[in-house]
A and B are shown apart, each in its own frame.
Chain A
Amino acid sequence: MTATKPFQPPVGPVPLFAGVLRSEARKLGTVRSTFWILLAAIGFNVVTAALLGLLLPGHLSADQKATIDSVRVSLGGLHLSQVAVGLLGVLAVTSEYGSGMIRATLAAVPQRRLLLTAKALVLTATVAATGIAACLAAYLVFQAFLPAGDAMRTTLTDPGVLRAVTGAGLYLTVLGLLGFGLGTVLRSSAGAVAALFGVLFVPTLLVALLPSSWQDTIGPYLPMNAGDAIYIVRPEAHTLQPWTGFGVFCLYAAAALAAGFVLISRRDA
């Protein structure tokens, strides 16, 4: 029997966390679904905005145009793109469980919370960049399709407009993180997607069954209603202030993420 090869401590060219970040960025960037989902998110936003910009001016009265929240309208594609982004967040983690890759990943990076942090950061950066760009594009396309002098025209420097447009991108980002948190907890793509859309849509439906005074009290705090507040320029009754609503929405995502962070270190892979 020969002697064991002397142990040589690896000289890492990069700090551990930077390496894990690079690894996670490459993971997200080297599966086709990422590309298609982000393309779909942009496409939904821009195409919806174009159609609305094209069709809406002819359908609305001058009164309606003066009162409508045209910025929110231009972001109508969010109803579809949020589905795409939620799916991306879920898949960012469940695809590893589905394929069994997670065991190779955790054997390479046993520091599970550090791994999850890196994954979340990569997802955040990706969705924030794409989401904000997609919302900005939707806003600009909508404006470009409006006839000159239309009452629905706004500019990014009008009060609340820039906040609403970039905020919509942030809403998508936090939604992605909510999906990511649920994916980490449930470890199954189908289960996490179902849970995500359950969390978003079901409470709204259930609250509609309650007396209206309850609806007004609870309604604004439901995940999707709270999240919507950030891109509302002309608030209606019973909506939260933009950043308050966004903060509440962040709390839902934070709860899912926190559960994920607790569970990932406790459970067997």
Chain B
Amino acid sequence: MIEATGLTKRYGATVAVDDLSFTVPSGQVTGFLGPNGAGKSTTMRLILGLDAPDSGAVTVGGRPYATYRRPLFQAGALLEAKACHGGRSARNHLLCLALSNGISRARVDEVLDLTGLAGAARRRAGGFSLGMSQRLGIAAALLGDPPVLMLDEPVNGLDPEGVVWIRTLLRTLAAEGRTVLLSSHLMSEMAMTADRLVVIGRGRLIAEATMADFLAAGPGGSVTVRSPQARALAALLTARGATVTRQDADTLAVAGTTPEAIGELARADGLTLTGLTAHQATLEDRYMELTRDSADYRAAATRNGDRR
């Protein structure tokens, strides 16, 4: 478990993390979301004790990370994929880290196998593609078989097979009761991987909730209905308080009710439905809505563009 309370970190005049409190429980994958510059990477560095907070505190497994001797057994982290000496082989890179924590060579070979790098173990890490570097970083995080894992943008540069692999890996690790904190900008990927979300913007907490609650708290989805008697159905739905938008002669977009209620209503009045499709609000919709005001870096074109 990771617990942050009142974390604040300034770099000169910039407040990177601002009174941030959140909890990352065990047994789940917690997604860590926020626009570029929101303070995600800073928060991760604070968790690992690499940077010292100006105020507040954060513990990993109940203690500040930096107080552990051999902390690779407590938590594994992937911060930057390319953060290794390019001239060293993948195996030597892992071995350097492993030796410092008294981790065996056998375990180094194990994580190389696990991450699919066994064949490239003796190649110089400097020649690795971004995807292979990510795998090497994940291998390093897994060295101590730790109860806590923290991965910053691990799917960057991974091929589709790699994306599925990491999703499965993280789900498995969480199912084993481990704490997994995962940051990513790929919303669809996050929606499939995370159970909970911590969303920050400009260093502040915007939301901390389960994925289901996070999605449900939004304006909700809509239902597309096709019917030869669309006009009659529209009148009926409007009378029941739903918001109906006519899309074409046969098609309605309905908000404020459920597909079940529409189907029931149609049956009761003997109206024919030829199509009934529910559109759930996506994580991306909710995320965009919540972080609209706190994105530091946004392309000028979308600033004026109507994002609804």
Partner-B contacts on A (CB < 8 A): 1-5, 7, 9-10, 12-14, 16, 19-20, 22-24, 26-27, 30-33, 95-96, 99-101, 103-111, 268-269
Binds A, one of B82-90, B220-228, B296-304: B82-90
Q: Establish whether residues A4 and B101, one from each chain, have CB atoms under 8 Å apart when the complex forms.
A: no
Residues on B with beta carbons closer than 8 Å to the beta carbon of A32: 87
- In the complex, what residue of chain A is closest to B75 when comparing beta carbons? A107
Most chain A CB atoms below 10 A, which of B50, B79, B179: B50
Specify which of B48, B69, B95 is in contact with A26 (CB 8 Å cutoff). B95
Q: Establish whether residues A108 and B97, one from each chain, have CB atoms under 8 Å apart when the complex forms.
A: yes
Contact with A along B144-161 (1 / 0, CB 8 A): 100100000000000000
Most chain A CB atoms below 10 A, which of B65, B69, B140: B69
Q: Establish whether residues B65 and A110, one from each chain, have CB atoms under 8 Å apart when the complex forms.
A: yes
Residues on B with beta carbons closer than 8 Å to the beta carbon of A100: 80, 82-84
Q: Establish whether residues B87 and A33, one from each chain, have CB atoms under 8 Å apart when the complex forms.
A: yes
Partner-A contacts on B (CB < 8 A): 1, 25-28, 45, 48-52, 61, 65-73, 77, 79-80, 82-89, 92, 95-102, 104, 140, 144, 147, 175-179
With A26-B92, A30-B87, A101-B83 already in contact, 10 other A-B pairs whose C-beta atoms are closer than 8 Å: A5-B177, A23-B97, A31-B85, A95-B85, A100-B82, A103-B80, A106-B50, A108-B71, A108-B101, A269-B51
Q: Establish whether residues B50 and A12, one from each chain, have CB atoms under 8 Å apart when the complex forms.
A: no
Q: Establish whether residues A107 and B48, one from each chain, have CB atoms under 8 Å apart when the complex forms.
A: yes
Q: Establish whether residues A13 and B83, one from each chain, have CB atoms under 8 Å apart when the complex forms.
A: no
Known: A99-B83, A110-B71. A268 touches B51 (CB 8 A): yes
Specify which of A7, A12, A33 is in contact with B61 (CB 8 Å cutoff). A7
Residues on B with beta carbons closer than 8 Å to the beta carbon of A33: 87
Specify which of B50, B69, B144, B177 is in contact with A111 (CB 8 Å cutoff). B69
Most chain A CB atoms below 10 A, which of B77, B88, B95, B99: B99
A-B contact pairs, 13 of them (CB 8 A): A2-B176, A4-B27, A10-B102, A10-B144, A12-B102, A19-B102, A20-B100, A22-B99, A30-B88, A30-B96, A108-B101, A110-B66, A111-B69
Residues on B with beta carbons closer than 8 Å to the beta carbon of A23: 96-100
Per the bound structure, the CA–CA distance linking A7 and B62 in Å amounts to 11
CB distance from A12 to the nearest CB of B (A): 4
Residues on A with beta carbons closer than 8 Å to the beta carbon of B52: 268
A-B residue pairs, 3 tightest by C-beta: A100-B83, A23-B100, A110-B66
Per the bound structure, the CA–CA distance linking A19 and B98 in Å amounts to 9
Residues on B with beta carbons closer than 8 Å to the beta carbon of A10: 70, 73, 101-102, 144
CB distance from B149 to the nearest CB of A (A): 12
Q: Establish whether residues B45 and A13, one from each chain, have CB atoms under 8 Å apart when the complex forms.
A: no
Per the bound structure, the CA–CA distance linking A160 and B59 in Å amounts to 59
Per the bound structure, the CA–CA distance linking A5 and B67 in Å amounts to 21
Residues on A with beta carbons closer than 8 Å to the beta carbon of B66: 110
Residues on A with beta carbons closer than 8 Å to the beta carbon of B73: 9-10
Per the bound structure, the CA–CA distance linking A110 and B64 in Å amounts to 11
Known: A2-B27, A4-B177, A16-B69. A104 touches B97 (CB 8 A): yes
- In the complex, what residue of chain A is closest to B84 when comparing beta carbons? A101
